[in-house]
A = this chain, B = another copy of it.
Amino acid sequence: MKFLFTAMAVALVAATAFAAQSIPPDLRETALAIFKPLPSIPEVTNNPRTPEKIALGKALFFDPRLSSSGVFSCNSCHNLATGGDDNRETSIGHGWQKGQRNAPTVFNSVFNKSQFWDGRAEDLKAQAKGPIQGGAEMANTSHQVVETLKSMPQYMEWFQSAFPGEAEPITFDNLTNALADYEATLVTPAPFDAFLNGDDTAIGPEGKQGLALFIEKGCSSCHSGVNLGGEGYYPFGVVEKPSANVLPENDKGRFAITNVPEDSYVFRVAPLRNVAITAPYFHSGKVWDLRQAVATMGTTQLGEELTQYEVDRIVAFLNSLTGKLPKIAYPLLPTETAATPRPQSQILGK
């Protein structure tokens, strides 16, 4: 059964900012109709997920030699030590170039229905091909990264174990396939999952009040599903356009992919797991304070000035999305050989 606040109750909350938000008795049932606890990890590539492939994917994820300069690994911008992102507005890449959009966390990204802020990659495998070849990111080519891996006997062995029976196991497709399968293991069960799964003590009263508000105010209309986002597409500024600082004019989001005018300033809904440890916020990375981010969402997406009380509760709820980060053994990477292409740090065209 879905719970609905009566008009009177809503009016009361709005009128008295410090009145305690009630916790609906059927909060879990209501939440389960909107959100989902973390499921088991899905198969993400058309190649069986094996321990060998995951181990290979992990090595690749941490290997800076995937970049032409030898400076950046996947982990540089999606740092597993700091919430799976890089704590910057936008990332720094090859030649000190700045990325256009905030680096999202890799944790739980397997549950997003598409990848990147504009959803231009259908899955993690397609996503991985972007930054490796992005001129302002890792600035490599598919050919050169394959040559780099082929030059190291240890990688040859690992690819053979991960893709048994293939005559040429080291390919760009297999590289991104292994990366995707490793990334799919990076999930972070959170107190909110425990709550959804039946543990009433997993979230405190403030968090529960926040969850009720999150649903009642309409946040969950977009931020739903297992990742509380990462599914649909909506304009940033449904009701009121954010400031040009937060929503830079030159980044029209999904419009650049679809060329449909209605997609101007449309972005994939941000997934909210681990949001409390992955500041700064929005595609522009311009907001560092989660409370401010929540308030901004109130005005731009809901057309509502959330009270301090409401913001506090919603943030308490969002804190319950901070998951248990996996323990990771730092990999030991293959040694280069005379055949390994040398790091290139010049910027093409300069």
Residues of A at the B interface (CB closer than 8 Å) are 62-65, 69-71, 76, 79-83, 86-89, 92, 95-96, 98, 276-277, 279, 288-289, 325, 327-333, 335-336, 338, 342-343, 345
Q: Is the CB of A92 within 8 A of B69?
A: yes
> In the bound complex, how far is the Cα of B326 from the Cα of A329, in angstroms?
11
Q: Is the CB of A92 within 8 A of B345?
A: yes
List 7 tightest A-B contacts by C-beta distance, closest first.
Answer: A96-B96, A328-B330, A81-B333, A330-B330, A277-B335, A88-B343, A71-B92
Q: Which residue of B lies closest to A276 (CB)?
A: B335
Q: Pick the residue among B80, B83, B95, B342 that contacts A96 (CB under 8 A).
A: B95
Q: Is the CB of A279 within 8 A of B82?
A: no
Which of A63, A336, A342 has the most C-beta atoms of chain B within 10 angstroms of its own C-beta? A336
Contacts of A80 in B (CB 8 A): 330
Q: Smallest distance from the beta carbon of A72 to chain B beta carbons, Å?
A: 9
Q: Is the CB of A70 within 8 A of B98?
A: no
Binding site of A, secondary structure by majority: helix, strand, loop or mixed? loop
Which of A63, A81, A83, A276 has the most C-beta atoms of chain B within 10 angstroms of its own C-beta? A81
Q: Pick the residue among B76, B327, B333, B343 that contacts A329 (CB under 8 A).
A: B327
Q: Pick the residue among B63, B71, B89, B329 that contacts A328 (CB under 8 A).
A: B329
> In the bound complex, how far is the Cα of B81 from the Cα of A62, in angstroms?
8
> In the bound complex, how far is the Cα of B337 from the Cα of A277, in angstroms?
9
Contacts of A328 in B (CB 8 A): 329-330
Q: Is the CB of A289 within 8 A of B338?
A: yes
Contacts of A96 in B (CB 8 A): 95-96, 345
Contacts of A82 in B (CB 8 A): 64, 333, 335
Q: Smallest distance from the beta carbon of A303 to chain B beta carbons, Å?
A: 27
Q: Which residue of B lies closest to A291 (CB)?
A: B338
Q: Is the CB of A87 within 8 A of B288?
A: no
Q: Smallest distance from the beta carbon of A182 to chain B beta carbons, Å?
A: 13
> In the bound complex, how far is the Cα of B332 from the Cα of A86, in angstroms?
13
Q: Which residue of B lies closest to A75 (CB)?
A: B330
Contacts of A345 in B (CB 8 A): 88, 92, 96, 98
> In the bound complex, how far is the Cα of B63 from the Cα of A315, in angstroms?
26
Contacts of A83 in B (CB 8 A): 335
18 extra interchain contacts, Cβ-Cβ under 8 A, other than A328-B330, A329-B329?
A62-B81, A64-B82, A64-B87, A65-B87, A69-B88, A70-B88, A71-B86, A82-B333, A82-B335, A87-B343, A89-B343, A96-B345, A276-B335, A277-B335, A279-B336, A288-B342, A327-B329, A328-B329
> In the bound complex, how far is the Cα of B325 from the Cα of A279, in angstroms?
34
Contacts of A338 in B (CB 8 A): 288-289
Q: Is the CB of B71 within 8 A of A76?
A: yes
